[in-house]
C-alpha cells in the first residue's frame, strides 16, 4: 500500500479513537476524575505530535496526497485550527506539570484551565470531525 494511502487509513483510525478519548476525557474532568483526565490529556497530546511528525514524513514521499485546488482553503482552516488546539493543549499540559513541580506557581493558564480547556478541546474535536470529512475527500 503506498505511504499516503497508509497515512489516510491511519488518520481515520486515529481521528475516530481521538474523538472518543477526547469526549471521555472531558467527561472525566467534569466529574472531577483529575488523575485519569490528566493521563488521557498527556497521552492524546503526545500522540497528536507524533501524528504531525507522520504527516510531515508522508508529505516528503514521492507521491504525496493530491489536494484539489478548491479544497485548499478548507485544508488551511483545518490545519490552522488543529495547530491552535494542539499548541493550546500542550501549553495547558506544561502549565499543569509545572504547577505540580513548583507548588507555589500561579500561572494564568492554570487559573483559567477550565475556560481554556473547553476552548481547546472544542477546537480539537472540530479538527477531528474535519479529519473524517478529509478522509471522504481524499480516498
Ligand atoms: C497535565 C494535564 C492536565 C491536568 C492535570 C488537568 C487537570 C484538570 C482538572 C483538575 C480540572 C478540573 C477543573 C480545574 O482544575 O480548573 C480540569 C478541567 C478541564 N480540563 Fe484539564 N487537565 C490537563 C490537561 C488538559 C488539556 C490539555 C485540556 C484540553 C485541551 C483539558 C481540558 C479540560 C476541560 C475542558 C476541563 C473542564 C471540564 C468542564 O467543566 O467542562 N485539560 N482539568
Is the distance from the beta carbon of residue 121 to the nearest atom of ligand 1 less than 6 Å?
yes
Separation of CA 103 and ligand 1 centre (Å): 17
Mean pLDDT by 10 residues, the chain (139 residues): 77 96 98 98 98 88 75 94 98 97 95 98 97 83
Residue 111: partners with Cβ closer than 8 Å, 6 or more residues away: none
Quick one: pLDDT at residue 135? 85
Q: What is the secondary structure of 45-75 as a DSSP string? A: HHHHHHHHHHHHHHHTSSS-----GGGHHHH
CA distances from 1 to 4, 5, 6, 9 (A): 8, 6, 6, 10
Q: What is the largest CA-CA distance in the chain?
A: 53
The CB of 84 under 6 Å from ligand 1? The reply is no
Q: What is the pLDDT of residue 66?
A: 72
Q: Does ligand 1 lie within 6 Å of residue 118's CB atom?
A: yes
Domain architecture of the chain: domains with CATH: 3-138 (1.20.120)
Cβ burial, residue 134 (10 Å; 0-12/13-18/19+): buried
What is the pLDDT, as a whole number, of residue 128? 96
Q: What pLDDT, on a 0 to 100 scale, did the predictor assign at position 60?
A: 82
Query: What pLDDT sits at residue 65?
Result: 64
**Could you give the count of Cα atoms lying within 13 Å of 97 in the half-sphere of its Cβ?**
9
What's residue 67's pLDDT?
76
Joined grid coordinates for residue 118:
473547553
How many Å lie between the centroid of ligand 1 and the Cα of residue 54? 27
Instruction: Give the integer Cα–Cα distance in Å for 116 and 106.
Output: 16
Quick one: pLDDT at residue 109?
98
Nearest residue (by CA) to ligand 1, atom 36, is 114
Q: In the structure grid, which three cell numbers stand for residue 128, read together?
A: 477531528
pLDDT score, position 2:
67
Q: What is the pTM of this model?
A: 0.90
For ligand 1, pick from 34, 39, 117 the residue to mutate: most ligand atoms within 8 Å of CB: 117
Amino acid at each position: 500500500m503506498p505511504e499516503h494511502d497508509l497515512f489516510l487509513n491511519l488518520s481515520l483510525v486515529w481521528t475516530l479513537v481521538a474523538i472518543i478519548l477526547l469526549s471521555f476525557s472531558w467527561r472525566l474532568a467534569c466529574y472531577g476524575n483529575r488523575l485519569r483526565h490528566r493521563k488521557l490529556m498527556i497521552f492524546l497530546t503526545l500522540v497528536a505530535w507524533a501524528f504531525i511528525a507522520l504527516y510531515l514524513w508522508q508529505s516528503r514521499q514521492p507521491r504525496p496526497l493530491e489536494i484539489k485546488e478548491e479544497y485548499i482553503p478548507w485544508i488551511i482552516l483545518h490545519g490552522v485550527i488543529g495547530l491552535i488546539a494542539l499548541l493550546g493543549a500542550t501549553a495547558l499540559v506544561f502549565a499543569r506539570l509545572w504547577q505540580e513541580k513548583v507548588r507555589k506557581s500561579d500561572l494564568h493558564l492554570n487559573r483559567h484551565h477550565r475556560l481554556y480547556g473547553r476552548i481547546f478541546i472544542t477546537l480539537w474535536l472540530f479538527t477531528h470531525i474535519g479529519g473524517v470529512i478529509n478522509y471522504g475527500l481524499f480516498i
